[in-house]
Amino acid sequence: MGATSTFYVNENLKQGAVRASALLSLLVSLFFYCFPDLLNPYLTQNIPTAFIGASFVGMVSSKAISHYSWLIIAGIIFSIIYINKSLFFRGYGGALGTSAFIAILATMAIPVVFSKKKKITNGFLIFRKWLFRDK
């Protein structure tokens, strides 16, 4: 939900990636701050953090991931990484952003890995174009 809503506010409402992420993360965090007894304490503490990380996934450019189905897959991959990251990312600054980046790269690699023709696919071409763009 964090990835798709941030992407929607960024692309459709033209608010920019940083503003969309910050605004939605603030709203979710304030909601759970104002209603701490709505869910159990574990969820109340962890949902805002997970939403912020998922909103980092939603900050991706529409040139890299343009369809909501790929964005949902990236959000699911981020969720799997977030749930299992506790020991691996301990001591690293920016664990949420790193997890979001890994999720986006994994999503962009899906067409490359599962292509039946084993040719360069659109996801790889976009990644290569982004990686070697003129600065």
pLDDT score, position 120: 58
User: pLDDT category, 75, cuts 50, 70, 90?
Assistant: very high
For the chain, give me the number of helices (H) and strands (E)? Answer: 6, 0
**How far, in Å, CA of 7 to CA of 24, rounded?**
11
CA angle 13, 25, 42 (to 5 degrees): 145
Going by C-alpha positions, the residue among 66, 48, 46 that lies closest to residue 4 is 66
Nearest alpha carbon to residue 55 among 79, 33, 39, 34: 79
What total number of domains does the chain contain?
1
Between 9-23, 49-63, 92-106, the lowest mean confidence (pLDDT) is in 92-106
Q: How far apart are CA 126 and CA 76, in angstroms?
A: 21
Domain that holds residue 106: 2-131
Which residue in this structure is represented by tokens 């900050």? Answer: 59
Residues 17-45: tens digit of each pLDDT? 999 999 999 999 999 999 999 899 989 98
Instruction: Please tell me the pTM assigned to this model.
Output: 0.78
